[in-house]
Each structure stands twice: as structure tokens, then as C-alpha cells.
Amino acid sequence: MTTEAHLLAKLGRLSAELERLKRSGVTAVPGALDPRWFERLKKAAQIDEAAAKKGAPPAPTPSPVTHASPPVNDTLELIAAEVAGCVACGLAATRTNTVPGEGEPQARLLFVGEAPGADEDAQGRPFVGRAGKLLADMIVAMGLTRERVFIANVLKCRPPGNRDPLPDEVAACEPFLRRQIARIRPDYICALGRISAQALLKTKTPIGQLRGEFHDYHGTPLLATYHPAYLLRNPGEKKEAWKDLQLLMARMGLPVPPQRS
């Protein structure tokens, strides 16, 4: 097949999907698609054509992940389903499971970490390893539970070897988190660690300078603190993280226990 034929076939499938979404009441999807998705579509068609010449099966159609605005009927389930099929960055090739996030769909407090690690990649759930246990302890110390908050990450797939996310991976995955925040509409966001805080606040300021005060994330107060994995490596910093959580608790109107020694 020619590139044009592949494009037409893929656009036909896209049109059918858009019609299906429109019939189910999702009317804003066509306008929400970013032009960059069509670039990926074209690239995929070119890859298909090259593969067809070699007799290989066509590559999967990329997911339309970049939205100028989310579908009007967006849901956390729809976002998770799109994450599960996403091939928008190279991490799709090395992940075991996608990790969209979990928790109370209308949580007052949203925690945002960096990316799934090995345990999270294996289970498809956020913060389930040692750092997850510490985060759960931090949440309980605030007088809350995991079930009462929402926990997500900037990236929904694990970077190999737990390396830092690359800028293009953060950019590719960002629309999912933005849609989750728009859907949950938390009263407060707690960014866990440098990568999360810098990605959300679009800054290169070190986490040590970002923490300890509230920032504005499109109208939602955001507090940055140390990532639980960093606290496991640097237990002496736990008291600083606890100070951050106390700030958050006071702002949320939660009872603040006396400073721990």
C-alpha cells in the first residue's frame, strides 16, 4: 500500500472512532485533537509502508493523546483506557503495565509523583514499593488514607532502570495528567519530588527552593515536598517533609499534631 492509502485507511478508522464517540455523547473530541497527533499518524503510515515493503505487519496506530482541551464527557476510566493503549513515547516499548493512577475520583488532595518504578510497572499501580509504603505512612500521618486521596505520576510508564524522565516523555504524557486534574478538580496538589514539581510548575528551580511554600497550578494551590524515595535515601530530611505536610494540613483545615522530634 502507498503512504496515501495507509493514511486514508487510518483516517477512516479514526473517523469511525470519532463517530462512535459522538454517538456516545462525546462531542468535543474532534476539536480536542492536537495537530501533532496527525504528524504521528503520518509517520506511522510511513513506517507501515516501509514495513509492508519488507512483508512485516503494519505498526499499531498511535493513540491521540495530546488534547488542546479534554473531551466534555472525560472520565478517569477513559483516560486510563487511553493510557493503556498509548504509544506516544518510547516508554511504551519497555513497559510491562501502564500506571495511570488511583484513588478517590473527587479527592480534595492529589499527590503527583515522578514515574512508576519496578514494583509499580509490575502491578500497574502507583507507589506500591518501599517508597509507596512511606507515602502511605505520610498520608496516614496527615489523618487521611490512600483511599481518600488520588495518587498519580507525571509519567504513566516506567523509564528503564528508573532513570529520570526525558523532556519529550514528560511533554508526551502531560496531557493525561492535565486531564486527570481537570476531572478530579482537587483542592490541593502535592508534588512529590523535583521532577514532579518542575514539570507541573514549568520551572527549573531546585526542589529545595520550591518546597516549604504554596505555588499556583492553574488556580489550584500546589505544595512541593521531597519524594518518598529520596526520603528513604536521606532519612534526615523526613522532618523537613513533615513540615511541608503540616503546612498542607493547616491549609486544608486538617488537625495539625505537634511538631515531631
Q: Total binding residues for ligand SF4 by CB under 6 A? A: 15
The answer to the question of residue 172 lying near ligand SF4 (CB under 6 A) is yes
- Among 6, 67, 156, 227, which residue sits at the site for ligand SF4 (rule: CB under 6 A)? 156
Which is nearer to ligand SF4, 6 or 156 (by Cβ)?
A: 156
Which is nearer to ligand SF4, 155 or 189 (by Cβ)?
A: 155
| b/e map 139-176, b = 16+ CB within 10 Å | beebebebeebbbbbbbbbbbeeeeebeeebbebbbbb
The answer to the question of residue 89 lying near ligand SF4 (CB under 6 A) is yes
Which is nearer to ligand SF4, 65 or 76 (by Cβ)?
A: 65
In the complex, minimum distance from the CB of residue 97 to ligand SF4, in angstroms, rounded to a whole number:
10
Residues 29-48 that bind ligand SF4 (CB under 6 A): none
Which is nearer to ligand SF4, 101 or 225 (by Cβ)?
A: 101
The answer to the question of residue 192 lying near ligand SF4 (CB under 6 A) is no
Which is nearer to ligand SF4, 114 or 169 (by Cβ)?
A: 169
In the complex, minimum distance from the CB of residue 172 to ligand SF4, in angstroms, rounded to a whole number:
4
Task: Determine the interface stretch with ligand SF4 among 40-48, 142-150, 155-163, 179-187 (rule: CB under 6 A).
Answer: 155-163
The answer to the question of residue 99 lying near ligand SF4 (CB under 6 A) is no
In the complex, minimum distance from the CB of residue 256 to ligand SF4, in angstroms, rounded to a whole number:
36
The answer to the question of residue 173 lying near ligand SF4 (CB under 6 A) is yes
- Among 48, 120, 169, 244, which residue sits at the site for ligand SF4 (rule: CB under 6 A)? 169
DSSP string, the chain: --HHHHHHHHHHHHHHHHHHHHHTT--SHHHHB-HHHHHHHHHHHHHHHHHHHTTPPPPPPPP---BSS--TT--HHHHHHHHHT--SSGGGGT-SS----EE-TT-SEEEEES---HHHHHHT-SS-SHHHHHHHHHHHHTT--GGGSEEEES-SSPPGGGPPPPHHHHHHHHHHHHHHHHHH--SEEEEESHHHHHHHHT----HHHHTTSEEEETTEEEEEE--HHHHHH-GGGHHHHHHHHHHHHHHHT---PPPP-
In the complex, minimum distance from the CB of residue 170 to ligand SF4, in angstroms, rounded to a whole number:
9
CA distances in angstroms from 177 to 35, 99, 111, 152, 170, listed in the order given? 19, 12, 11, 8, 10
The answer to the question of residue 83 lying near ligand SF4 (CB under 6 A) is yes
Which is nearer to ligand SF4, 156 or 215 (by Cβ)?
A: 156
- Comparing CA positions, the residue from 60, 85, 65, 68 lying closest to residue 10 is 60
Which is nearer to ligand SF4, 173 or 248 (by Cβ)?
A: 173
Q: List contacts with ligand SF4 (CB under 6 A).
A: 65, 83, 86-89, 91-92, 98, 155-157, 169, 172-173
